[in-house]
Amino acid sequence: MVTMQANGRPAVAGQDRRPSLATLAATLAPAWLPLLTLIFGGCCSNAVFLELSTRQAPQLGTLITLLQFFFTMLLALPAQLERAPSSSPKTSSTGGIPFVGWRLKSRAVPMSRWAVQVVLYATTSLLNNVAFAYEVPMPVHIIFRSGGLVVNMLMGWVVRGRRYSPLQVLSVILVTGGVVLSTLSTQPSTPSTSSAGSAPPVSNYLTGISLLTLALFLSSLMGLWQEATFAVYGRDTWREALFYSHALSLPLVLGTRYSDVRGEVQAVLKSPQVVLPSQLGGAKMPSLIPLLTLNVLTQLACINGVNRLTARVSSVAVTLVLVVRKAASLAISVLVLNRGKDQGDTSGLVTGAIAVGAGTVMYAWAASRSTVGVKEETGGAGQEEKQKSADAAVTSARETRSTTAATKRARPVL
């Protein structure tokens, strides 16, 4: 009997039909190279421009947050627009808001749920960026924000009653130790004298660490809230979440920090002048404007890359890729941007960073094993119960859609 290959040709006996490494690389490169370029090029460059900006003007946290919110909203806006019918009234019973021939699509998630997430998200982003004004170096900033695994486990246990395997607990202890070691190893020494009216560097540093700690807890609460939202309304609402979390955060930030934004804009305009390359006209402008522009552009590339990665691979793979990305950002900050500076003994910082990375990888691996174990335990006899649950869910969804449709038909158009 002749064995046929996928292309219809007969297979030669003893021929190895497995693709070579070169063939595999050539096949995967066109799909994965642009994606990894967006993540590592965009996210790492964003960290570089953020550090350069905050090094020159540490108080720019609110303005940076505002710019990132605005341009991320513009990036997410096209997916939320649809053509408005020519005979459409000024207001729509479907929830769309028509303007210039277009209108916002009807929301799948109630505005009340987005409002809670917006408050948590805007506050978390502000705290993370404002912390730069309190003597927190970029390496510590990167490592500390990587320690969110600790808070996520704690909040999951307290709020959701989740249980974790011994390996997950061990990995979180490793991450915690790494964050503490990195934080303490870069703590500035207390000066012998300090000018009147200014806080000592140690006091500033501890204030910045407190802001980052609070941001971690708020970020964990936001994650639990968003997880509950996706469980009810589906994970395909992530584009809606991306748009409304940034669009609604803009007035919140402007309303609460308007005076700070004005002062930060003035600081940008008063920054030292730089001359642009001749290809760009050779004009003079404040040095912070190019840095902030590049920060925003690389932020958009980073968001685009992470969203594409999330849609292609599992959450464990996403975690591993982002850990490697943060390690690359840390290496760039320590070995390139701060090269030649008196950083003291960096062994504690490096050891802490390795502990955080190793703990995160261990946790992701343990989580994937526990997921596989649950799937195996619920197989076989559990398939019938799954089918019954699925049938009940479909029936419930149909009843809900029928009720919703009847309600919409009965609702008067305002």
Say yes or no to pLDDT of 84 above 90.
Answer: no
CA–centroid distance for 299 within its chain: 10
Query: Which residue segment(s) compose the domain that 141 sits in?
Result: 31-82+109-186+200-338+345-372
Question: Residue type for 26, please?
Answer: A
Question: Residue type for 153, please?
Answer: M
Q: Are strands 273-275 and 284-286 parallel, antiparallel or unpaired?
A: antiparallel
Higher-confidence residue: 384 or 123?
123
Q: Using an 8 Å Cβ cutoff, are 320 and 364 in contact?
A: yes
Is 131 inside any structural domain? yes
Is 88 inside any structural domain? no
pLDDT of residue 18: 54
Separation between Cα atoms, residue 96 and residue 111, nearest integer Å: 13
pLDDT of residue 100: 65
pLDDT (tens digit, 9 = 90+) per residue, 245-285?
999 999 998 888 899 899 999 999 999 998 888 777 778 89
Separation between Cα atoms, residue 360 and residue 352, nearest integer Å: 12
pLDDT (tens digit, 9 = 90+) per residue, 292-326?
999 999 999 998 888 778 767 766 567 667 777 88
Higher-confidence residue: 91 or 99?
99
Say yes or no to pLDDT of 188 above 60.
Answer: no
Is 58 inside any structural domain? yes
Is 378 inside any structural domain? no
Say yes or no to pLDDT of 179 above 90.
Answer: no
Say yes or no to pLDDT of 40 above 60.
Answer: yes
pLDDT (tens digit, 9 = 90+) per residue, 368-401?
776 544 444 444 444 444 444 444 444 444 444 4
Is 315 inside any structural domain? yes
Residues 6 or more apart in contact with residue 308 via CB below 8 angstroms: 35, 38
* Number of independent structural domains in the chain: 1
Is 181 inside any structural domain? yes
3-state secondary structure of 105: coil
3-state secondary structure of 304: helix
Higher-confidence residue: 10 or 253?
253
Kindly state the average pLDDT of the residues 58-77. 90
3-state secondary structure of 191: coil
Structure tokens at 210: 């407190």
Is 353 inside any structural domain? yes
Separation between Cα atoms, residue 215 and residue 283, nearest integer Å: 40
CB-CB neighbours of 111 under 10 Å: 11
pLDDT of residue 407: 39
Ordered DSSP codes for 364-376: HHHHHHHHHHHHH
pLDDT of residue 34: 83
Higher-confidence residue: 197 or 215?
215
pTM beyond 0.75: no
CB-CB neighbours of 78 under 10 Å: 10
Q: Using an 8 Å Cβ cutoff, are 128 and 209 in contact?
A: no
Is 11 inside any structural domain? no
Kindly state the average pLDDT of the residues 153-167. 81
181-202: buried (b, 16+ CB within 10 Å) or exposed (e) per residue?
bbbebbbeeeeeeeeeeeebbe
